[in-house]
Amino acid sequence: MKTKKIALYTRVSTGYQVDKDSLQFQQQELTAYCKHILHADMSIAEVYEDAGHSGKNTRRPAFERMMKEVKAGMISHVIVYKIDRISRNLVDFSIMYDEFKYNRVTFISLNEQFDTSSAIGEAVLKIILVFAELERKLTSERVKDIMINRAVEGKWNGARVPYGWDWNESLQWPTHSEKEAPYARAMYDMYLKVKSAGKIRDYNNAHGIPTKRGGEWTSKTVSDLLRNPMNRGDYRYNYRESARGRKKPQEEVIYVKGVFEPLVAPEVWDEVNRIMDSNREKQNRGGLHPIEMHCNIFAGLIRCADCGSGYQVIKKDKARKNGFAPSMYGCTARYRAIHCKAPNVSEVKFGPFVINYISAVVRVSNERRKIKTTADLERMLLSDASIFCDIAYIESQGLNNTLELLTGISGRNSALWSVNPVSLDKTQSDSFEVSELKSQIQKYIRAKERLEDAYYFSDDGMSEKEYLEKKSRFDAAQIEAENKLKSIASQEHIETNDIDFIKSASAFLLAHKLRAGEHIVYSDFAAVIDNETIKEFMNLVLDHITVKNRRVVEIVFANGLSHKFIYHD
């Protein structure tokens, strides 16, 4: 059995302590204890050193490495010079100590002279930690009081200076930035004309105007600049719980007028913020954003061939006479620094292509016995001349893979689609679990929509990092629910093949007099059928479609099968 290690943990929180050899002193004391008190073999002792890390949380590299080894059963003792070297937070320490007890690790602190291998030592440890945390909180409160008093007196508290300002070392005070201030003033002037943070964002990214940290501009960073009262000369402090946390009650906010030299005239700042307030009221008045009030069939399914980014919904047109209300989509990279030049594309343009190509693939799957070569396959797929007349040919790799699936040459199940067909019959009763999962998925979709609205449109929004982290959590939860739903479907359909899919797809098509082999008028199709139903069908069948110059250049199905289209010109 491998001998367990003795962990000697050392930590200091400031560079000053490092310079004074505090780490070296701690290591000397711990080493001496191991040699002369424990009489341990020093070959099994290892030092875990965190220099310049606070003890108020556990985000420390050496500590995290040590705890992984504790959980792996590799450590017998953890020894520190003082208890606050390893933790100054009672909750964190309790979690850590539970791990020590579970893995039979003895914890020893030299300064407090206790050893948790005894009951008395364990009790003393907990009492000491309570007072260590109390000391930290009292210190924090004293620092907070000092900072607030400084703010009331109009003194700078050392935070990062915002865009448009630089820190002047000689004056020890923020001053106008020679590089950024002209851009900042120009953004105020521009907002008075365009009345849109999004348009300023686009202009900045398109013209290479740098942010404070060299990143891309977003609507949020533009809004933060325009909203900052420091630009009119006022000092606002203690405004949020943390850098991007919740706003504090108005009575706790420190607001001192006339502290700084104004970056823009106060009347300009006031007018810009009045317009922003008015725009926010208009956006909030109608509930959902107009785009979100409607179902956009291809949302999340379109990619840009030029830059690889996804397309987003730009607008939803008014319904035509037959009830068809197409969506317009645009490349999201248009609003980033790369400023993609790909044109917007309307559902009117690519909707007929996609639905008729799906219909052609259904027909091919149904008539597979007639297909002997890739030429036969290509001819049948492109037989609707009114839709596919501009296509010269389909790329060979996709045709070969499709033919192998149809003929069974690949040795795989001959399923062309390889998806678990979800019934599109809205009258079919679902099991309780299926209904719950579908409800969860819709909740996550709505949550992401609200999150995006808060990020792009709300003055009380969040940082890009916080937005992406929360969106990632919602995405993961949605995928988990969707996978559970697929798992249930797979239990009900032990073997998914072409017949299963064709039953599902054909039922969908036949229900609306859209039998395979007939040309489908997409505008009538989308006008008659509930758009949620079509969207569910598209998400079932497609992974994504790629567009270039308003034309579909690739369709990737849910099983990964890809068909790429080469046009005559």
What pLDDT digit, counting tens, does each position of 468-515 carry? 667 777 777 777 777 777 666 655 443 444 444 444 444 455 444 444
pLDDT digits 0-9 by tens, 329-343: 988 887 666 678 899
Of 63-77, 274-288, 364-378, which one has max mean pLDDT? 63-77
* Number of structural domains found in the chain: 4
Asked if 413 contacts 468 with a C-beta cutoff of 8 angstroms, the reply is no
Place of tokens 């919740």: 246
Residue type, 206: A
- Asked if residue 282 has pLDDT above 80, the reply is no
Question: 365 and 305 in one domain?
Answer: yes
pLDDT of residue 19: 46
Q: What does DSSP say about strands 5-12 and 75-80: parallel, antiparallel, or unpaired?
A: parallel
- Asked if residue 413 has pLDDT above 70, the reply is no
Task: Give how far Cα 60 sits from Cα of 48, 65, 269, 518, Å.
Answer: 10, 9, 43, 65
- Asked if residue 183 has pLDDT above 90, the reply is yes
pLDDT grade for 80, boundaries at 50, 70 and 90: very high
pLDDT grade for 427, boundaries at 50, 70 and 90: very low
Say if 172 falls within a structural domain: no
Say if 303 falls within a structural domain: yes
Query: pLDDT higher for 381 or 456?
Result: 381
* Candidate from 100-109, 120-129, 416-425, 545-554 with smallest mean pLDDT: 416-425
Query: pLDDT higher for 567 or 159?
Result: 567
Instruction: Kindly write down the DSSP assignment for every residue of 260-313, as one continuous string.
Output: S--SS-HHHHHHHHHHHHHHHHHHHHTSS-GGGGS--TTTTTEEETTT-PBEEE
In terms of Cα–Cα distance, which of 525, 531, 498, 497 is closest to 509?
525
Average per-residue pLDDT for the chain: 78
Domain end (from 241, 260, 285) = 285
pLDDT grade for 534, boundaries at 50, 70 and 90: confident
* Candidate from 143-152, 175-184, 299-308, 439-448 with smallest mean pLDDT: 143-152
Tokens of 106: 């003895």
pLDDT of residue 563: 94
Question: 293 and 279 in one domain?
Answer: no
In whole angstroms, what is the distance from residue 409 CA to residue 394 CA? 20
Domain end (from 265, 285, 305) = 285
pLDDT of residue 431: 52
In whole angstroms, what is the distance from residue 560 CA to residue 417 CA? 9
pLDDT of residue 420: 41
Place of tokens 């606050």: 84
pLDDT of residue 144: 65
Say if 169 falls within a structural domain: no
% of the chain exceeding 70 in pLDDT: 73
Question: 21 and 126 in one domain?
Answer: yes
Instruction: Give the mean model confidence (pLDDT) for residues 409-424.
Output: 46
Q: Would you state the torsion angle of the CA atoms of residues 126, 131, 137, 141, taken in this order, to the nearest 10 degrees?
A: 170
pLDDT of residue 567: 92
Tokens of 248: 């504090």
Question: 137 and 215 in one domain?
Answer: no
Say if 61 falls within a structural domain: yes
Burial of 207 (0-12, 13-18, 19+ CB in 10 A): exposed
Place of tokens 């919602």: 474
Q: Which helix (H) or strand (E) holds 453?
A: helix 432-457
Say if 155 falls within a structural domain: no
pLDDT of residue 551: 93
Say if 437 falls within a structural domain: yes
pLDDT of residue 253: 78
Domain with 68 in it: what CATH number?
3.40.50.1390
Question: 362 and 508 in one domain?
Answer: yes
pLDDT of residue 261: 92
pLDDT grade for 531, boundaries at 50, 70 and 90: confident
Helix, strand, coil in percent for the chain, rounding step 5? 50, 15, 35
Which residue range(s) make up the domain with 124? Answer: 5-148
Question: 189 and 131 in one domain?
Answer: no
pLDDT of residue 87: 79
Question: 367 and 316 in one domain?
Answer: yes
Say if 164 falls within a structural domain: no
Secondary structure (3-state) at 76: strand
Report if pTM > 0.85. no
pLDDT digits 0-9 by tens, 449-474: 766 666 655 545 566 666 666 777 77
Query: pLDDT higher for 197 or 284?
Result: 197
pLDDT digits 0-9 by tens, 118-136: 777 777 777 766 776 676 6
Domain end (from 256, 285, 314) = 285
Question: 252 and 313 in one domain?
Answer: no
Asked if 42 contacts 31 with a C-beta cutoff of 8 angstroms, the reply is yes
pLDDT digits 0-9 by tens, 430-451: 455 777 777 788 887 877 776 6
Say if 346 falls within a structural domain: yes
Question: 377 and 297 in one domain?
Answer: yes
Q: Would you state the torsion angle of the CA atoms of residues 213, 215, 218, 220, taken in this order, to the nearest 10 degrees?
A: -20
Asked if 348 contacts 342 with a C-beta cutoff of 8 angstroms, the reply is no
Task: Give how far Cα 440 sits from Cα of 433, 444, 452, Å.
Answer: 10, 6, 18
b/e burial code for range 228-241 (CB count within 10 A of at least 16 → b): bbbbbbbbebbeee
Domain with 209 in it: what CATH number?
3.90.1750.20
Question: 437 and 395 in one domain?
Answer: no
Question: 426 and 413 in one domain?
Answer: no
pLDDT of residue 147: 66
Question: 248 and 127 in one domain?
Answer: no
In whole angstroms, what is the distance from residue 25 CA to residue 35 CA? 16
